[in-house]
Amino acid sequence: MRKAFDRPIVGLFLDSWVVNSLKKQRYGIFFRLDLFFRAAERAGVTLFLFSIDGVSFNPDRVEGIIYNRPRQRWEPIAISRPDILYDRFVGRSPAQEKRADFIRRQFHRRGVLK
């Protein structure tokens, strides 16, 4: 896997089941992600997918996945934080929404664009 990524890194904030399915290379119903990935390639940015489960702020660490084009597969990676947040997360419980709101606020405080 490459060590350097095109900047900016666009963090696509998704439900955990989507990220976990892609880690297992299950693409079936995620046809729109291919559109996101192609748009990111055209724009010259790195698309980084992550969920509520992969975010820690002590230390700043976000675990997620990126698409490895040569290997044609999604691969796990950790970064300190994305440069841009594309928020597609929908909480399934009040606790998840509370955690997601906290994550959004922390990214905003750290200068992540939305």
**pTM for the predicted model, two decimal places:** 0.89
Report the pLDDT averaged over residues 29-54.
88
Domain containing residue 59: CATH number: 3.40.50
Listing DSSP states for 42-93 in one string gives HHT-EEEEEEEEEEEETTEEEEEEEEETTTTEEEEEEES--SEEEE----SS
Q: Give the other-Cβ count within 10 Å of 34's Cβ.
A: 11
- CA 5 to CA 40: how far, in whole Å? 12
24 falls within a domain: yes
Domain count across the chain: 1
For residue 36, being part of any structural domain is answered with yes
Residue 86, amino acid: Y
What confidence tens digit (pLDDT) does each residue in 57-95 have? 989 999 999 988 889 888 999 999 999 999 999 888 999
Is the residue at 114 inside a domain? no
Structural domain span for residue 73: 9-109
User: Is 1 inside a domain boundary?
Assistant: no
| Nearest of 46, 56, 68, 54 to residue 18 by alpha carbon | 54
Domain assignment present for residue 34? The answer is yes
2-26 pLDDT tens trace: 456 778 999 999 999 889 888 887 7
As a whole number, mean pLDDT of residues 36-42 equals 89
